[in-house]
Amino acid sequence: MNILITGGCGFLGARLARTLLKQGALSLAGEPARRIERLTLTDRVPAPPDLAADPRVALVQGDLLELAQGRKLPAAGTDLVFHLAAAVSGECEADFDLGMRSNLDTTRALLEASRALGSKPTFVFASSLAVFGNAPGTALPELIEDDTLPTPQSSYGIQKYISEQLVADYTRKGFIRGRSVRLMTVSVRPGQPNGAASGFLSGMIREPLAGLKGACPVPRETLVALASPARTVEGIIRAAEATQEQWGPLTGMNLPSLRTTVGDMADALERVGGKAATALLDWTPDPAILKLVNTWPGNVASVRASKLGLLPDKDFESVVRDYIRENPGAVKLPVR
């Protein structure tokens, strides 16, 4: 089996790649499992050393829009595309043209290139919880379901929702076998902060554990829907494995979420890292981030995902402890 991961050298793409390589094989859309022979990563940056050293991995470095428009990706013989590459929410709000190019134009070009293969590859698109938004004067439903009408309130959310619809139509026309999964906010992400408005939901844990100040620009009572890196990757892979009957409608599927508050997250940090960790939290409000976060739902159902055997994280404290276990070199404070 030949697989393409866009954004494959970023945190989530690299984790997905490592998981697939460890598995060694994949059952695609219910078919018998096949050995993973080639895993192509495309990104603007080099591959992590461990992935670059794996003989099954190939790196195509460059601008994804140009590569797709030039029909260089996906390559002939590609069975499965995981499309993770995107400009993040804060970047898209600050630079409209960047978001449209990186998220909408690139997705359309990649779909066209996949169609041109003529082999109907499976195409898993990483959409987002941001397709749902609290429109001014209109309250969100108390519970967001898989079939709740998306009302995005950010350029990023709009771009993701339009892309969902494109994936659905290319599937309906028989060009690809498409599945869109709506990712929850992923926490805790290791490494450096990115431009996502939700980035503080990792930074408020990651930075204090490293002995650094961590920004927490929203009130403690802010409700959020989170998923750990492990649960997120699990959901992305399961989308590729599901039969069409199991998958169901062509619309986007909500991945499972842990429903919590920012205050509960801070409390979990204190249980793990003590008061020395929470003393490093900076609760200075940021109106721009608060405006975006307040449009996002915090109570999200995932009935379709649960039928595929996908479950949310047990609690946020266990997510924090998993982060510490996986990233011991990034933790400088003593933990309990």
In the prediction, which pLDDT does 312 show? 97
* Count of Cβ atoms closer than 10 Å to residue 211 Cβ: 13
Reported as a single tens digit per residue, the pLDDT across 216-265 is: 999 999 999 999 999 999 999 999 999 999 999 999 999 999 999 999 99
CA-wise closest residue to 331 among 272, 265, 271, 275? 272
Q: Is 170 a catalytic residue?
A: no
Amino acid at 215: A
Return the minimum-mean-pLDDT range out of 72-76, 128-132, 291-295, 307-311: 291-295
* pTM, rounded to two decimals: 0.96
How far is Cα 26 from Cα 208, in angstroms, rounded to an integer? 38
Reported as a single tens digit per residue, the pLDDT across 187-220 is: 999 988 877 778 999 999 999 999 999 999 999 9
Q: Among the residues of 47-150, which ranges form H helices?
A: 49-52, 64-69, 89-94, 96-99, 106-117
Query: What percent of the chain lies above the pLDDT cut of 70?
Result: 100
Is residue 122 scored above 80 in pLDDT? yes
The pLDDT-based confidence of 290 (bands split at 50, 70, 90) is: confident
CA distances from 72 to 35, 116, 206, 282 (A): 24, 11, 38, 46
Dmax over Cα atoms in the chain, in whole Å?
58
* Residue of 156, 161, 170, 323 marked catalytic: 156
In the prediction, which pLDDT does 292 show? 81
Is residue 42 scored above 80 in pLDDT? yes
**Domains defined for the chain, CATH in brackets:** 2-184+227-254 (3.40.50.720), 197-223+258-300+313-330 (3.90.25.10)
How far is Cα 322 from Cα 325, in angstroms, rounded to an integer? 5
Q: Cβ contacts of residue 17 below 8 Å, gap of 6+?
A: 5, 8, 39, 41, 51, 57
Angle, vertex CA 124, rays to CA 23 and CA 202, nearest 5: 80
Reported as a single tens digit per residue, the pLDDT across 8-33 is: 999 999 999 999 999 999 999 999 99
In the prediction, which pLDDT does 117 show? 98
Query: What percent of the chain lies above the pLDDT cut of 90?
Result: 90
